Amino acid sequence: MQLGNVMNNKTPRELLNQFYIDNHLGADGGNASSSVKIEMNRYFYFYIPNFDARRKAVIKHDIHHLLTGYTTELKGESEISAWEIASGCKKYRAAFFINLSGFMISFWINFRGALKAFSRGRKTKNLYYDEFSTEEALDMTIDELRVLMRLDQYPKEVKPSFTDVLLFLAFTLFGGLYSLLLMVLLPFIILYSITITLGQRKQKV
């Protein structure tokens, strides 16, 4: 979702409902659901359990989409993952490890775009700093939040420095090791996804 100048004076609270509708994320972004749908493309997806640590981080993540302009498609998620890691996930470990998965996707499909987003993140901040509450952030305007996050100074992707490239590659290596560990969980994720899909189909019958 790309925000125009008119939307910059609106708050996330005013914009998120339409953002969820436009991106087929459910009435509340799926926050109340027991599972989360992860779309790899239009035809391939799987499910993971929706746990409390993710719920705590996801509202901030959704606001970040509004602030940065990164989309919810696979390419955009790889970019916002790189941006959030670079700008700092702080105490939000769930956000960090979920972002690592998106970060690794960027290595294969969007290396250049994610690197620029990573460089932008190194110069900006995000809501994971907890300098104010989520409720406060929901009622600030997009312009106000962009100023506080320094995104007004870096509205677009930043040209990567040598240090940016080195750090990006270091996180890529770490993300690769993390992805190998996740392979152990893959059979369980597949079984869980099949169970959720069959349950949904049964409800429709």
Model confidence pLDDT, tens digit, residues 73-101: 889 999 999 999 999 999 899 999 989 98
Query: So what's the pLDDT on residue 198?
Result: 78
DSSP letters, 78-125, are HHHHHHHHHH--TT-HHHHHHHHHHHHHHHHH-HHHHHHHHHHHHT--
pLDDT at residue 46 above 90? no
Q: Residue 113 and residue 99: Cα distance in Å, rounded?
A: 15
> What residue ranges do the domains of the chain occupy?
7-204
Residue 3: pLDDT above 60? Answer: no
Q: 38 pairs with which residues across the strands?
A: 46
Taking only the tens place, the pLDDT of each residue in 127-176 is 999 999 999 999 999 999 999 999 999 988 889 999 999 999 999 888 88
Angle 154-56-133 (CA atoms, 0-180°, nearest 5)? Answer: 60
Categorize the per-residue pLDDT at 199 as very low, low, confident or very high, splitting at 50, 70 and 90: confident
Quick one: pLDDT at residue 133? 94
Residue 2 has what pLDDT?
43
Among 14-18, 20-24, 128-132, 167-171, which stretch is predicted with the lowest mean pLDDT? 20-24
d(CA 174, CA 168) in angstroms, rounded, equals 10
- 97 or 189, which is more confident? 97
